[in-house]
Amino acid sequence: MDEADRQLLRRCRVRLVRELQVASLWDVLLSRQLFTPAMIEDIQHAGSGSRSDQARQLVIDLETRGSQALPLFISCLEDTDQDALASFLRMSRQAQKQKPEAVRPPNLMPVVLGPMGLTPEDLRGKTGPLKPTPGKLSPVVLGPEQLWPAKLRPEVLRPEVPRPVDSGSGRFSDVCAREISKQNPDLAYALNADPCGHCLIINNVNFCLKSRLTARTGSNIDCEKLQRRFRLLHFTVEVKCDLKAKQMVQALVELARRDHSGLDCCVVVVLSHGCQASHRQFPGAVYGTDGCPVSIEKIVNIFNGASCPSLGGKPKLFFIQACGGEQKDHGFEVACASPEDRTSGSDPESDSAPFQEGPGPFDQPDAVSSLPTPSDILVSYSTFPGFVSWRDTKRGSWYVETLDGVFEQWAHSEDLQTLLLRVANAVSQKGIYKQIPGCFNFLRKKLFFKM
């Protein structure tokens, strides 16, 4: 699908999600070979499986299909008697293609303006620059720059700056800044490979009885959202479920030992229960299904320059959906938030577990960082260290739901750090108990995802 059709779908997404009748579309989409049976099954199980969730996912996945995906989709709408939507998309597409090109001004001849007191005869026949005379000003030449006399033309041409492009939902300045940054290797990481990197998602839902950790209902929704999101961002996604602590470490080591030389980035996502842990660089730990913790610091250091040289100088991103402790943040009173942010559709659960006490590697208080900080690493936490992270059993965690929505709307125009600021702001306004995500950012440049 070309960029114009992709932008059109993004602009029309709200109406499509509101009005699209997906139940009548499945057979037609299959017969037109617009989607495979497996893809349709994934769409049908998107989110909570509601009509709006299915419609939203169908529109998102439609962007990844071929160049004729939008015309085929319009014809599918017509075949299922959804004529109003079909006509709306067709007319919008035609109007977009018929936008007039910028009209260039006609070639103009330069006009020489001189001060009063100089007659045309005074100016006629002069080939060189006019010399100022007492009480008289030199004439000024007005006209197109390419017609100026040679001595009036600038000696050094300014470098050409990319013109801003209308991205549909992003502002002109956002897209222009993105393009300028991407063209400067000193400002932004190059994510040009396709796929641009590996993404490993560890999704721990069910824990053994001895661990005394409850099942993380709703985590599979998070996993499906992130799996789909990072595929759309051109990552090769691998999901591993219900791993014990040693299995988690083994999976991470196997990923680090792969050859990443032809790739530009690496992503690790951990969805599990968590706790506080002593640390030197990165706080917190996540639990394996056997109830044994793995520190975030250990996870990150598996991918340092010594253990994974083929990722040297490349961004390594870690997204942690787990509690940072047991404290529940009641927040403090501010201006009224929106009603939907005050309450949730169902009682949220936390991903917390007690701080580890007694013998073991986590029995010391948090230490001040004393080791050199790794570069090209970003660790995004779902909550502030020491506090719980909330998860809705029907919609998934606040953090992942918001992360997915922000990436969908803004990843085409904003860098990762700005996206995470949006996530933190949105999550902080949810619920009666409060939560705010944060990150440890040791990236050296801006990171714009490949779109």
| β-pairing verdict for 265-271 and 285-287 | unpaired
Contact assessment for residue 410 and residue 403, using Cβ atoms and an 8 Å cutoff = no
DSSP string, 334-383: -SPPPHHHHS-SS-EEE-B-PPP-SSSTT-S------SPPPSSEEEEESS
Contact assessment for residue 202 and residue 251, using Cβ atoms and an 8 Å cutoff = yes
Contact assessment for residue 298 and residue 281, using Cβ atoms and an 8 Å cutoff = no
**Residue 233 φ/ψ region, left for φ over 0, alpha for ψ in the -120 to 50 degree band, beta for the rest:** alpha
Specify the amino acid at residue 350: S
| Annotated active-site residue in 273, 279, 412, 439 | 273
**Sign of the torsion angle spanned by Cα atoms 283, 400, 286, 343:** positive
273 in catalytic set? yes
Short-list 223, 211, 226, 214, CA closest to 349: 214
12 in catalytic set? no
| Annotated active-site residue in 76, 323, 412, 439 | 323
The beta-strand segments (E) located in 10-139 are: 111-113
Structure tokens at 125: 């026949």
Residues labelled catalytic:
273, 323
